[in-house]
Structure 1
Amino acid sequence: MAYPNLPELDSITSYKPKMPLRVFSADNMLIAEFGEERRNVVRFKDIPEIMKKAVLAIEDDRFYEHGGVDYQGITRAAVHNLTGGAKQGASTITQQVARNFFLSSEQTFKRKIYEILLAWKIEQNLSKDQILEIYMNQIYLGQRAYGFSSAAQIYFGKDLKDVTIAEAAMLAGLPKAPSAYNPVANPKRATVRQQYILQRMRNLGYITEAQYEQAKNEELITKTNSNEFGIHAEYVAEMARQLVYEQFKEETYTRGLNVYTTITKSDQDTAYLSLRRGVMDYEKRHGYRGPEAIITIPEGKEAAEDAIEKELAEHTDSDDLQVAMVLEATPKLVRAVLSSGEEIRIEDTGLTFAASGLSVKTPANKRIQRGAVIRVVLEGKSWSITQMPEVQSAFVAANTTDGAIRALVGGFDYNLNKFNHVTQAWRQPGSSFKPFIYSASLEKGLSPSTIINDEPISFDAGQTGGQAWEPKNYDGKYEGPMTMRRGLTKSKNMISIRILHKIGAKYGQEYTNRFGFLPEKNPPYLTLALGAGAVTPLQMAGAYAVFANGGYKVNPYLISKITDSNGQVLVQTKPDMAGDEANRVIDERNAFLMDSMMRDVVKMGTATKALVLKRPDIAGKTGTTNDSFDAWFAGYQSKVVGIAWIGFDQPRNLGNKETGGGLALPIWIGYMQKTLKDFPIEERPVPKGIIAVDGDYYYAENPPGSGVSSLAPPISVIEE
């Protein structure tokens, strides 16, 4: 059978855990473990039968009967859901293996089809025991633990072979939502799920009634000294794992490798919190969409509690965004119960965001009512209704001197979407790409004071390489002749288009390649002036660092060194350094002029919100694509560059008046506000070969009156 565009299975089949791959921050905080904690390999035959049974009971009790997709389970879940029972899923263990290692968790039809095809491919190439062994060794179980053996050590401080039935059931509850069912951090909710799994094990005949009663009443003692796990760096951990595997292949999980990354706890925590705050601020502006689910709570206390527990178990907490079941709802008061069993009251300002969901005019399927599953957040001492965001985001920060990544957040919640938007999301940069076109123009005789006409312009199909094009400014307003500096400050589309038309699109593309952009992703058409190509946030970090460090290309890197289990250094990264002339890609004077213009973007342009930082040494550029599918802010201080992006995975309009300055810039500010507090304000020295005349800077060889002083119609392209 042919499997078009499906990934190879090497990264799954080559997984042979013997000793853990451990990933650390730069300040020695343990971020993640991949594989067994001790030397013995947890082969299928060595995994306790009770652990296997606990996993099968809750995840896939027909695992050994289906061919990768459980059609009987799908039918049963569909009927159960349609008849108003607790929502049931139908993904098999094989499908989860496919999803966890190759696909995002986004619920789209295309993604589901790929998941099914990949599950079939896995089933045809591996035995059932092999698939289950892979699942039980690689699945993420919270607290930076991957695999049940590591989880047994982290949560209970014991080898997997020694876990009791009660402990096995507790561990088996983790894959669904590692954070929500963490027995250390969320014991009440974890116990609810554990009890349900024990019931399943009894009902399926995996344990006897006597074993069930004993396990149900067993008091679990968890290992609470887990302060070593204190960083939200799941995307970093997975990036590190992939990078190590590229070099060490099958030895990645067998040698006890220790990977030391460049991120620090302080920077990473700041970036994580700032990104989530920025995303939730966007959600608040765009209104309440309605409950995540609505069930009919049965009569009778015991039946009601059982239905509530089972339904809440199907929904995952996302850090402070907790799931709750509504018990009573009026426009002035909502009573709800958390998965822990705690009852809460939401009133006054806590209802403001979801007021539309409490209106009798709202359709029943969007209304907050008894049986509705909602999201709540504790703000101070009061609860408020919120919702899970649909929009995604990314943030990355790096040192400008050597490219060391200081913080990286690849999305809103790794457990819900493993797609790393920092490294994998190819998006249009919009206006945040304009500085590279401006930089190119400086080498063609233009200067910050060159006068350019901000008036509408049109091109026929022959000029664009496609179809006729009549671009517009974002706000639809035109100011006539202005300096190039003002054109960048105000992000005028007409200015950057005229600049690229003047210097030539081919030259512009070739010039921007030196910043690390791929020519095939950014074709040489005039639309390049508006950032109509494709870049990743990580590429943007490396590119903007060039302006910050005086013209040197430093490549962002994540791993500083790798050691074996004895501490022997196996790999030591030797990064490209700013100051090494071999790494120079633009003239120091060019970087200085671009920095000067982008400082004005902050002082008086589209990024004035950053003035709250009270630093004259920051610069950057907002970015909003013409269709408002993507919002960016790319900015820096001389030592640190940061890139923030917001958009939907399936690109769509972010909303009227949603811009990079309003969406992405606050995330950048949130990070820089804390990070830069220990950085002294730096005065950028004026390089040799730069002259100042009438308040602006020029190349010494292009003083006022020489070079290109004005771009006025007709526009002629400079011959190359």
Structure 2
Amino acid sequence: MGRAQARQAQNKGSGPARGGNKPKKKGIRRFFTWKKLLAYFIAVIALGMGAFYALYLSVDVPKGNSAAKLQSNVYKSSDGKTIARIGEVNREEVPLAKVPEVVRRAVVAAENKNFYTDPGVDLKGTARGIFNTVIGRGKQGGSTITQQYVKNYYLDQSQTVTRKVKELIISLKVQDEKSKDEILEGYLNTSYYGRGAYGIQAAARAYYNKDVDKLSLEEGAYLAALLQAPSQYDFGPASTEAGKTNAKKRWNYVLDKMVEQDWLDGGKRQGMQFKEPGKPKAAAGLKGQNGYLIEAAKKEIIRDLMREGDGRSAKDAEQIFAAGGWTVTLSIDSKKQAALEKAVKDKLLEDLDPKTREVDKHVQAGAVSVDPKTGKIVALYGGADFATHQISNATRADYQPASTFKPLILASALENDSKTQDGQPINSSTIYDGTTRRPVQGSTIPYAPPNEDEHSYGPVTVQKAMNDSINSVFAQMVVDVGMGKVKKTAVDLGMKSDFDETPAMALGSMGASPMEMAGVYATLDNHGKKVTPSVVKSATLRGQDFKLPGAIGDRVVERNTADGLTSVMTGVVDDGTASVVSNPAYQVAGKTGTSDDNKSAWFAGYTPGLVTTVAMFGEGQGGTQVTIQGTGGGGRVNGGKYPAQIWAAYTSSVYGDGDDETKFDIETDSGFTSVQGPAPTASGTPSAPASPSPSSTPSKSTQSPSSTPSRSASDKPSNKPTNKPTNRPTPPIPTGPTVPTGGSTDGTRPNGGRETQIPPQ
């Protein structure tokens, strides 16, 4: 037998002799047997329980009452002067017995239907909240009424892991020390209901002007609904239709939960009608423009609190601010603010006679003026008086911005290198068919908008279409670029995203606020770097600086695109619907807008150092939108009339306060050249372009009088200043494919220079 065979025989024989043991695991595997894993798990659970028990013993229920720490909020102007001191504590404790049982049950049904049987904490929801906080998701998990009471009364609204753990432990202790009725009473008296009201008694007075014991179930259910999102569900004058709809849904939810708990008869539930609360009263110190300024600052701080890394909810952010202790310094320039108010008074309000003209009663004006280099709002006009009209016309977004949206379509075309249906690059020189009611091509949604007064232009350049705001051109352009791309560009520039992608968006059929549009145009003025208008210069909370986000963001469109739009929009002022704002001292770029049925009129314009958007709205009874046609005894109110006149009066009065530049610093190669080209022929085929100018310096168009569109006196005043500086390039008319024509091609407009309306959809 060989040695190898002998060893094999020996090894085989050694197995039984050693009892048949398996080879031992080596390395890290020896630590991961099933028995050891189970032991580890039990050890971790034991350690966790031990740590939690140690924490339970170490954390005491604090004394304090957070409501007792409530302070006023102080608002100051940019020069440090106190504008207002707002926020006297609106709170009155009431015993639980004074709260009707049906109202108590409405609150429990809305917030914690198992309140009377739960252990006081929601371990699953709290664990989820801690996990979300750790990973930065921000949304807090579910919590019981007991936990919310502890947060309101003993702790604060911060969203840290430490605070959440304390909340859990204190809730367990409070559950042992207090009865359910005591906890519910404390919760009802410390919760924030909006309108500065802490506690259900203050809420009953703020919303229904009655004591809590007089509340009906329908009213109590609404107060219970408010607890989830007070500002979003408020039926105040500044609330949106979406907010009102969501509030009613929440109100219905509360009542349905009461039926589920057998606290409300289903038949009685079916017959209940929602009762709208009364309008909020303006606090002292909020009269005139102060109220609009302070409300804008308040919303901005709450927004910034929500944006912080801990991701707190809107309710928590609002409650933190309402608790007071803030000193907020506004960015408003007192001289510019006074000039804006004077411009509105001189150019609009003095022209109104509400006693003899019904339409004049419905006129509302709003304006926002922004420094594009800092993003700070230097002047804001929200309405005649906050004490009598608490909807801020500067920030409301329920009216159409109309043709002020059209430049955003061209911006998207430049940004995306878009082409027409026949493959031509889109820029200021591109030829489009300006025939009224021309059906758009390339869209699955039929659309054929009329031009102003049904005027047909035939083949026109994009520059001409922008100057005269030709609907049919931009309706086709939005399809050529792609509605999704146009929307993306608009949102990138600063518009909200809650609008549909249809050809009608070309005419500004969505809602937008003057502040929103001021941000969009400021971004263009700032060469494509995002500007988010901010009215807060600085803020402190109980002496500690509150970090504000930057008002100037990253580049959202190329400089080539932004400057190209500035170049084109100087044409709207030089040769288009906004000639009234022309000034020999400085260049102006801008766009007018007039919405469907003349319910709003706009002018959004800018100089190299100041962006201002002015809008007029027709507001009837109950906030309904009505026409402003006939305002001041005239006819149609176009963006080139009152809005542009206010803009011109304001801008000219404040120009020169600082180191204001007179000319735009334009850098663009998007088809904006200094070549003077001929007008297109009636057939739509342009004649040969003139030789390009060797100079790179942009030159002003030298159209002959016969080719200059006629305009009415109200929109193109005869005393227009001359010899003003300009560097708006005059685009060439390129050769290209024949463009279908229709209607008049003589370049005249029967009501010349007036803004286009959005046709009924």
Alignment TM class, shorter chain as reference: 0.5 to 0.7
- Give the distance between the partners of 1:14 and 1:465, measured in 2 at CA: 59
> Alpha carbons of 1:420 and 1:483: their partners in 2 closer, same or farther (altered >3 Å)?
same
Aligned to 1:452: 432
Q: CA deviation at 1:610?
A: 0.9
Tell me whether 1:570 sits opposite 2:570 in the alignment.
no
Candidates 517, 525, 528, aligned match of 1:551: 528
Aligned-pair Cα RMSD in Å? 5.0
- Give the distance between the partners of 1:532 and 1:101, measured in 2 at CA: 26
Report SS of the residue matched to 1:421. Answer: coil
Q: CA deviation at 1:441?
A: 2.8
More strand by share: 1
Candidates 225, 238, 250, aligned match of 2:295: 238
Once the two structures are overlaid, the 10-residue window that deviates more, 546-555 or 102-111, is 102-111
Candidates 230, 234, 256, aligned match of 1:102: 234
Q: CA deviation at 1:540?
A: 0.8
> Alpha carbons of 1:243 and 1:496: their partners in 2 closer, same or farther (altered >3 Å)?
closer
Aligned to 2:459: 481
> Alpha carbons of 1:16 and 1:237: their partners in 2 closer, same or farther (altered >3 Å)?
farther
Alpha-carbon contact 2:405-2:506 (below 8 Å) kept:
yes
1:573-617 per-residue CA deviation (whole Å, 9 max, x = no partner) reads: 43325xxxxx22222222222212211211221111112x43341
> Alpha carbons of 1:521 and 1:67: their partners in 2 closer, same or farther (altered >3 Å)?
same
> Alpha carbons of 1:108 and 1:695: their partners in 2 closer, same or farther (altered >3 Å)?
closer
Report SS of the residue matched to 2:84. Answer: strand
Alpha-carbon contact 1:563-1:570 (below 8 Å) kept:
yes
Q: CA deviation at 1:15?
A: 7.5
Q: CA deviation at 1:240?
A: 2.2
Candidates 413, 416, 425, aligned match of 2:385: 413
TM-score by length of 1: 0.55
1:266-306 per-residue CA deviation (whole Å, 9 max, x = no partner) reads: 222332343355552563499434xxxxxxxxxxxxxxxxx
> Alpha carbons of 1:118 and 1:498: their partners in 2 closer, same or farther (altered >3 Å)?
closer
Tell me whether 1:402 sits opposite 2:374 in the alignment.
yes
> Alpha carbons of 1:548 and 1:16: their partners in 2 closer, same or farther (altered >3 Å)?
farther
Aligned to 1:308: none
Q: CA deviation at 1:22?
A: 0.9
Alpha-carbon contact 1:235-1:420 (below 8 Å) kept:
yes
Aligned residue type for 2:87: G
Aligned to 2:600: 630
Structure 2 unaligned residues grouped into runs of 5+: 1-64, 95-203, 220-225, 259-276, 306-316, 419-424, 630-634, 678-691, 697-728, 742-761
Aligned residue type for 2:521: Y
> Alpha carbons of 1:688 and 1:18: their partners in 2 closer, same or farther (altered >3 Å)?
closer
Aligned to 1:433: 405
Aligned residue type for 2:644: L
Aligned to 1:155: none
> Alpha carbons of 1:19 and 1:536: their partners in 2 closer, same or farther (altered >3 Å)?
same
Q: CA deviation at 1:400?
A: 0.8
Candidates 325, 330, 349, aligned match of 1:261: 330
Report SS of the residue matched to 1:267. Answer: helix
Candidates 482, 497, 504, aligned match of 2:482: 504
Aligned residue type for 1:637: T
- Give the distance between the partners of 1:117 and 1:497, measured in 2 at CA: 37
Aligned to 1:651: 625
Aligned to 1:32: 84
Q: CA deviation at 1:527?
A: 1.7
1:300-699 alignment, distance < 5 Å? 389-442=361-414, 443-444=417-418, 445-459=425-439, 465-466=444-445, 468-523=446-501, 525-566=502-543, 568-576=544-552, 583-611=554-582, 613-647=583-617, 648=619, 649-655=623-629, 656-679=635-658, 680-687=660-667, 689=669, 692-695=673-676
- Give the distance between the partners of 1:705 and 1:279, measured in 2 at CA: 36
Q: Percent identity?
A: 21
Larger radius of gyration: 2
- Give the distance between the partners of 1:70 and 1:686, measured in 2 at CA: 60
Structure 1 unaligned residues grouped into runs of 5+: 1-12, 46-55, 72-94, 126-134, 145-178, 180-230, 290-386, 578-582, 716-720
Report SS of the residue matched to 1:539. Answer: helix
Q: CA deviation at 1:643?
A: 0.9
Report SS of the residue matched to 2:655. Answer: helix
Aligned residue type for 1:434: K
- Give the distance between the partners of 1:287 and 1:115, measured in 2 at CA: 39
- Give the distance between the partners of 1:464 and 1:273, measured in 2 at CA: 47
- Give the distance between the partners of 2:600 and 2:668, measured in 1 at CA: 38
Q: CA deviation at 1:571?
A: 2.5
Count how many residue pairs are aligned between Structure 1 and Structure 2. 470
- Give the distance between the partners of 1:418 and 1:704, measured in 2 at CA: 45
Report SS of the residue matched to 2:654. Answer: helix
> Alpha carbons of 1:536 and 1:109: their partners in 2 closer, same or farther (altered >3 Å)?
closer
Q: CA deviation at 1:650?
A: 1.6
Report SS of the residue matched to 1:395. Answer: strand
Alpha-carbon contact 1:546-1:554 (below 8 Å) kept:
yes
Q: CA deviation at 1:672?
A: 1.4
> Alpha carbons of 1:69 and 1:676: their partners in 2 closer, same or farther (altered >3 Å)?
farther
Report SS of the residue matched to 1:550. Answer: coil
1:373-417 per-residue CA deviation (whole Å, 9 max, x = no partner) reads: xxxxxxxxxxxxxx9832222211111113111122233322222
- Give the distance between the partners of 1:470 and 1:140, measured in 2 at CA: 46
Report SS of the residue matched to 2:493. Answer: coil
- Give the distance between the partners of 2:342 and 2:68, measured in 1 at CA: 35
Alpha-carbon contact 2:433-2:740 (below 8 Å) kept:
no
- Give the distance between the partners of 1:639 and 1:273, measured in 2 at CA: 21
Report SS of the residue matched to 2:651. Answer: helix
> Alpha carbons of 1:602 and 1:572: their partners in 2 closer, same or farther (altered >3 Å)?
same
Q: CA deviation at 1:506?
A: 3.3
Alpha-carbon contact 1:451-1:483 (below 8 Å) kept:
yes
Aligned to 1:280: 349
> Alpha carbons of 1:489 and 1:457: their partners in 2 closer, same or farther (altered >3 Å)?
same
Q: CA deviation at 1:510?
A: 3.1
Tell me whether 1:67 sits opposite 2:67 in the alignment.
no
- Give the distance between the partners of 1:500 and 1:515, measured in 2 at CA: 16
1:3-59 per-residue CA deviation (whole Å, 9 max, x = no partner) reads: xxxxxxxxxx9987732111222222322222249xxx97569xxxxxxxxxx99x9
> Alpha carbons of 1:405 and 1:112: their partners in 2 closer, same or farther (altered >3 Å)?
closer
Alpha-carbon contact 1:429-1:632 (below 8 Å) kept:
yes
- Give the distance between the partners of 1:106 and 1:562, measured in 2 at CA: 24
Alpha-carbon contact 2:367-2:394 (below 8 Å) kept:
yes
1:232-255 per-residue CA deviation (whole Å, 9 max, x = no partner) reads: 221121232234345255443445
